[in-house]
Amino acid sequence: MLCSGISKDELKANPNAVMNVLEFTQRKQTVVAQPLLQPRLPTQVANSQQPLTLEALAGNGKDPRALYSAMQKIGQGAFGEVYVATGNGDNQRVAIKRMAVTPKNTKHLLAEIEIQRNSNHPNVVNYVRAHYHDNELWVVLEFMGGGSLTEILEMFTFVKLTEPQIAYVTLETLKGLNFLHQQSRIHRDIKSDNILLGEQGEVKMADFGFAVQLTDASQKRNTVVGTPYWMAPELIEGHDYDAKVDVWSLGIMIREMAEGEPPYMEFPTARALFLILTKGVPELKEPAKWSAPMREFLDQCLTKDIAARPSSDQLLKHAWLRSACPQAEFKQLVRRLKAKPA
């Protein structure tokens, strides 16, 4: 227990919480080894007499390496590498997620493509096309020239978002989340890394590697996915969960924007999870710095009682979001930061 950051006294005082953390760790390791356990495909796929295949969705027989040039690696995801490239036919800059296809991850990749290509919304990164060739899947997406929200937060020592700017990012993210939730979809990995920014100040959700489609027969999930520090308590405890796990993660992301990192980031993962279960999320470090409506919004997102935690639709009506800065202001911030020398 000592290596996990949980003391013997804490073990004695909170044995159930410690057991939940240990069981969570075991489940999480299983998910890492096999990215998505028994994924449920979108309803139209699951009910199809002839299930869709990668060949049907993305197999056009062409080698995608001949279709794009000036490829430059810009990131590494849980299931593949991300590149920026230029289409040889239209000279369009795109982002490309390259993933090796294996028997274990084929259903997962099918679900990801289906969710991505059927999620057309101003606050979701646009799906362009996909290529399946030589046991590799290339998912081609809209290129977001402003980078990720994380890139701004990494400059926290020198650049801090104002409350209206935080409200703007929250509002735009929430619009995208509400769209997904209305389609019975859960993102399951909301954090700054997966929020991309456009050069015009757009804010869009990305990385649907952990997204899932619910069906009428299964409106709750219990697969352990996501990133621990942003994870809702019901996920850690192994309970069934629904779209409100995204609301919790949104609250943690707001804390990221306000303080530079999520709560408990200084602790090992196991201790952080233990503290979330036993203590909840700590109060803002400088509560007087933030308005009462913002603090109320945060408290609602980070309510442990799932029944009392509002939905994305309910949160969109919250008065705090009316304090969001205009897109033009956020555009200027993005452009100014992108122009800074590395």
Chain centroid to CA 197 = 14
189 counts as catalytic: yes
**What gap in Å lies between CA 93 and CA 97, rounded to an integer?**
13
Tokens for 339, please give them. Answer: 């122009």
**What gap in Å lies between CA 237 and CA 232, rounded to an integer?**
9
Closest CA to 173 of 22, 312, 32, 319: 312
Cβ neighbors of 281 (< 8 A, separation 6 or more) are 251, 252, 255, 263, 302
Tokens for 140, please give them. Answer: 């081609």
Catalytic residue (one of 63, 90, 134, 189): 189
CA count, 13 A, side-chain hemisphere, 162: 9
Q: Looking at the annotation, which residues are catalytic?
A: 189
